[in-house]
Amino acid sequence: MTDRFTVRSPVTGAPVGEHPVHGPEDVRAAVGRARAAARDWSACGWAGRRARLLSWKRSLARRMDEVASLIRAETGKPRHDARAEVLLALVHLDWAARNARRVLGRRRVPAGPLSVHQRALVGYRPLGVIGVIGPWNYPLYTPMGSIGYALAAGNAVVFKPSELTPGVGELLARSFAEAVPGHPALLQTVTGHGPTGEALARSGVDKVAFTGSPGTARKVAAVCAERLTPMLAECGGKDAVLVDASADLDEAAEAIVWGALANAGQTCAGVERVYAVASVHAELCARIVHRVRALHPGPDPDSPYGPLILPAQLTTVERHMKEALAAGAHAAYGGPASLRPPYVHPVVLVNVPEDSPAMREETFGPLVAVNAVADLDEAVARANAGTYALGAAVFTADRRRGLAVAERLASGAVSVNSVLGFAAVPALPFGGSADSGHGRIHGAEGLRSFAAPHSLTVRRFRPPVDLTSFTSSRRRAERAVELGRRLHARW
């Protein structure tokens, strides 16, 4: 008999649901079913897959309240946040379905003068079965960046959601089967703890898409390395906001507060560090504090934000805050009394030493550090000094300067005069480097992440000099090569 585990509300501790613990045999069986389903899915063609995915999208849109209620039950998020998460997932699923053929469909490319006799084509083929390992902070939106794009590219998916939010994963697979009859094994969910994810990585899937901590990513990567299974990893961030002296401080403060506190700070591309030019630092801090005073987390459906979903995260937030204060930082708002499990009330720190964990490690809680810098050059240097490189933002009255600064930031995505501006733009790729992971989801690059390029040539006529034949005149072949050399030497 399959073991089961209980999911509990992070707000009340009451049971939310029971789910099976899928072992290696269960996972292998799911992957086997998915491989057979992938062949049928591939035969549907671009138009067939688009129609079916849009049907699923419309079904999810009609069921928004049902999906959001389950997200809220498993994570404690306010109602609006849960509904907004569903909307973001819909936006990305819609884009992937409508753009897969344009991005991945076969097209002609220039053959070049050396191969003028060839017609050159490139297309993309699905990889087969994708294993998706999802997080608990955005249990629908984040994995949809892999699931929706992988399905649109022609793959089957086996999804292992976080053990804190398995119900959302099960509902996702069930909703697909109901909206797209005839493909029951195309999107399957397996549930359990870490060993279930390990079994999925070891199951022979054709690629693993992982979201989680860098430490866990390294463990998954080690398992993937056993079979040379490719892996896409999104591992969090320590995102910085840079504020120029010319910036609209009200807009900057509003964006910083939302980016730092939304979802209780449990956002991989949320705001954790702020570097403000010294001449506006004090005023910016005052405006940030003014706004956070009005924000009180709680269980009410309309609270500004909810609890820390993972109880152990409270320890990280507490350690970052206390070590920063011990090292000389000042709490402009909040402090140790802000920790009231399962909630953390807003914490704003200033003058935090750059070697403090609050400036170097991912906090993943409603704590933001605001430091002063001499100018934007120093802000860029500090923002780039860490080991994460996921997202960032720049606030300035000069948009051209903002773009120039954005180009100098190592982050994979940067917003000018907003935070997380890229999250709701499905055409933009999302991902980072170093401890933030590697590979991209979303956009054309996100579709290509789940497909393999397929190169084709078709000979149109026999060339005057065939360099791929032993029967060609050596003299004519040498003359052709010399002509090519001269052309390239001059171009």
Give the mean model confidence (pLDDT) for residues 116-136.
98
CB neighbour class for 337 (10 Å; exposed up to 12, middle 13-18, buried from 19): exposed
Examine the pLDDT at 452 and tell me if it is beyond 70. Answer: yes
Contact 17, 7 (CB under 8 A): yes
Tens-digit pLDDT profile for residues 150-192: 999 999 999 999 999 999 999 999 999 999 999 999 999 999 9
Q: Kindly provide the b/e burial profile for residues 180-217, where b requires at least 16 CB atoms within 10 angstroms of the residue's own CB.
A: beebebbbbbbbbeeebbbbbbbbbbbbbbbbbbbebb
pLDDT in tens, 251-270: 999 999 999 999 999 999 99
Q: Is there a catalytic annotation at residue 234?
A: yes
pLDDT confidence tier of residue 2, bands split at 50, 70 and 90: confident
Percentage of the chain modeled with pLDDT above 70: 100
Is pLDDT above 70 for 1? no
Say which of 235, 268, 361, 362 is annotated catalytic: 268
For the ranges 63-67, 173-177, 346-350, 462-466, the lowest mean pLDDT is seen at: 462-466
Mean predicted confidence (pLDDT) in 41-53? 97
- Rounded to a whole number of angstroms, the distance between the first and last alpha carbons of the chain is 71
Nearest-CA neighbor of 336 among 350, 354, 351, 324? 324
pLDDT for position 83: 98
| 3-state class percentages of the chain: helix first, strand second, coil last, to nearest 5 | 45, 20, 35
pTM of the model: 0.96
> What tokens does 213 get?
């901590």
Task: Give pLDDT, residue 411.
Answer: 97
443 near 452, Cβ under 8 Å? no
Question: Average model confidence (pLDDT) for the chain?
Answer: 97
Residue 107 in this model has a pLDDT that exceeds 70: yes
Q: Does 312 score more than 80 pLDDT? A: yes
Per-residue buried b or exposed e for 53-74, using 16+ beta carbons within 10 Å of the residue's own CB: beebbeebeebbeebbebbbbb
What pLDDT score does 491 carry? Answer: 86
pLDDT of 317 above 90: yes
Which of these is catalytic: 85, 170, 198, 234?
234
Average of per-residue pLDDT across 409-430: 97
pLDDT on residue 248: 98
Which among 222, 220, 223, 199 is positioned nearest to 210, based on CA atoms? 220
Phi, psi (rounded to 5 degrees) for 230: -65, 150
Instruction: Give Cβ neighbours of residue 483 (< 8 Å, ≥ 6 apart).
Output: none
- For the chain, helix (H) and strand (E) counts, in that order, are 16, 22
Token pair, residue 378, equals: 């120093």
